[in-house]
Structure 1
Amino acid sequence: MTSFKDHFSGHAGDYRAFRPTYPDGLAAALADAAPSRGLAWDAGCGNGQVAVALAARFRTVHATDASAEQIAQAEPHPNIRYAVSPAEAGGLPDGCCDLIVAAQAAHWFDLGRFYAEVRRAAKPGAAVALVCYALQRLDDPALDAAVERFHNGTLGPYWPADRWKVVNGYRDLDFPFAALPAPPLAMEAVWPLPRLLGYMNTWSGVKAASRAFGRNPLEAFAEEIAPLWGDPERERRVRWPLTVRLGRVA
């Protein structure tokens, strides 16, 4: 099997519990771009967040991830068939897909090989999309500044190099498909402080820094942010703008 950059298998349960949910508008925009709604492939599906949304709009969703642990945590759905498979070898017949999407995953792929697989598996005129989200935004500038210091400063040396492709909004990724317009979209949630910290604890940079320090740096960050947040059970609005690079396979 193709090797892959595995930063999440060790905490797949936390990933499912704490990661935010994509807006309905994302699945709607992707479905509208597809030439028909037969088969969608969610490559690097993680625990199936996008796959489940697409399952309401496509007859079948083929959802793959190279991590068996992530697939084990995926949400079952009668229209979804999950498989442990790398994005570079999706296990699909030639020319079968109406849509191929990779959400918060393409920066880990061997893109040249993935794009070859996209062209092989896509129907003529199929839609292809790369989706990502970077740092969350809160409802207070002081909180945002504290999160940025933690993300860029404390964790800066410990992020995998591919993380910065996400921070740059995939602007630097090769995308050799005819571009299609995508609507502005964002994930939104209303969370208390423990929920936000649980989400941040799924970050690959936190895991790497914890191994280097011998302790979790999120503990010190929690102490720093607590007086800025106030009552930890106070719910605050959290927002992640999405980058959607949408295209058409010739």
Structure 2
Amino acid sequence: MAGLYDKQAELYSQFRPTYPPEWYATFAGLTTRRALAWDVATGNGQAAVGLAEHYERVTATDISTAQLEHAMQHSRIHYLHTPSTLSDDELVSMVGGESSVDLITVAQAIHWFDLPRFYAVANRVLRKPGGVIAVWGYNDMLVCPAVDAAGKRWYETTQQYWRPELRPFFGGYRTLAFPFESVGMGEEGNPVEVEMVKELSFDQYLGMMRSWSAVRMAMDEGIDLLSEAAVKELTAVWGGANLVRTVVYKGMMLAGKVKC
């Protein structure tokens, strides 16, 4: 997975959305302290920068060095490369130690994880009591009926290139294991629905599509899913490359604390 997103790192930093500030304020209100947050699979730091407004320190980790090279800098954020070869004990120590983390966040990435291993580490590092883990993702972009219909037709061409790890993601995290006690923001099998509203140009909308892993997978096989013909159709229904439209990202979220 790291190699896949190494290739997409620049697109990811340019076109993936940041998250609503009120989300971080809500998370901060759930934790008893605000000393340390850990943003896992931080990518280029979209979530980490939001956390830095509420926590004294943010440790932001990623398996991809290319992603970290494009990370947004902030005085409270410490970016760390965490290769898959790290042992659990090494990872716990690197993050901050046992029962040291007030908030763990995973944005648009939990579906890629070795969940039993990650959850074991999360249970070790979360502060007890008072620590919270929050995971979220978005899996749809809605614009208007004409654009959405064209986007759906294009999306059908991507199906064979998605990795099997993404099944929980496409299911809206309803089948995602989440062995934590609810804090009122969803629970295992029942995530809460969330959305983000952004103003995007057509180039930004297209750039988001280019950043998808399926597009990269197809490209590696010599297939351009965003061919000239596909882009021409999407541009036409959008209303021209210079038009800015409101885009609603539809997503899902789960948050919890270590079970007693």
Same fold (TM over 0.5): yes
Q: Quick check: 193-202 or 162-171, which moved more? A: 162-171
Q: TM-score, normalised by structure 1?
A: 0.92
**Residue in 2 that maps onto 1:122:** 126
Contact 2:198 2:247 in 1 (8 A): yes
After TM superposition, the runs of 4+ consecutive aligned structure 1 residues lying more than 4 A away are none
| Residue number among 173, 176, 188 corresponding to 2:176 in the alignment | 173
Taking only aligned residues, the RMSD between alpha carbons, in angstroms, comes to 1.7
Instruction: Give the letter aligned to residue 218 of structure 1.
Output: L
Deviations 1:64-93 (A, max 9, x none): 000011111111111111100158635221
In structure 2, the residue corresponding to 1:191 is in which secondary structure? Answer: strand
Q: TM-score, normalised by structure 2?
A: 0.89
In structure 2, the residue corresponding to 1:7 is in which secondary structure? Answer: helix
Give the total of aligned pairs.
Answer: 244
| Residue number among 104, 109, 112 corresponding to 1:105 in the alignment | 109
**Residue in 2 that maps onto 1:163:** 166
Instruction: Give the letter aligned to residue 175 of structure 1.
Output: F
Q: Does 1:188 align with 2:191?
A: no
Contact 1:41 1:97 in 2 (8 A): yes
In structure 1, runs of 5+ residues without a counterpart are: none
Decide whether aligned partners of structure 1 residues 6 and 181 sit closer, same or farther in structure 2, where only a CA change above 3 A counts: farther
Instruction: Give the letter aligned to residue 77 of structure 1.
Output: H
Distance 2:12 2:169 in 1: 18
Q: Quick check: 160-169 or 193-202, which moved more? A: 160-169
Instruction: Give the letter aligned to residue 225 of structure 2.
Output: P
Q: What percent of counterpart residues are identical?
A: 35
Instruction: Give the letter aligned to residue 106 of structure 2.
Output: A
Distance 2:165 2:176 in 1: 11
In structure 2, the residue corresponding to 1:123 is in which secondary structure? Answer: coil
**Residue in 2 that maps onto 1:61:** 58
In structure 2, runs of 5+ residues without a counterpart are: 186-191
Q: Does 1:244 align with 2:249?
A: no
Contact 1:64 1:86 in 2 (8 A): no
Kindly state the Cα deviation for residue 5 of structure 1 after the two structures are TM-superposed: 4.9
**Residue in 1 that maps onto 2:188:** none
In structure 1, the residue corresponding to 2:142 is in which secondary structure? Answer: coil
Kindly state the Cα deviation for residue 111 of structure 1 after the two structures are TM-superposed: 0.4
Equivalence map 1:1-250=2 (5 Å):
5-86=2-83, 89=91, 91-92=94-95, 93-125=97-129, 126-138=131-143, 140-151=144-155, 153-182=156-185, 185-212=194-221, 214-219=222-227, 220-250=229-259
Contact 1:155 1:205 in 2 (8 A): yes
Distance 1:164 1:150 in 2: 19
Kindly state the Cα deviation for residue 227 of structure 1 after the two structures are TM-superposed: 2.0
Kindly state the Cα deviation for residue 12 of structure 1 after the two structures are TM-superposed: 0.7
Distance 1:167 1:243 in 2: 11
Q: Quick check: 96-105 or 228-237, which moved more? A: 228-237
Kindly state the Cα deviation for residue 184 of structure 1 after the two structures are TM-superposed: 5.5
Contact 1:40 1:61 in 2 (8 A): yes
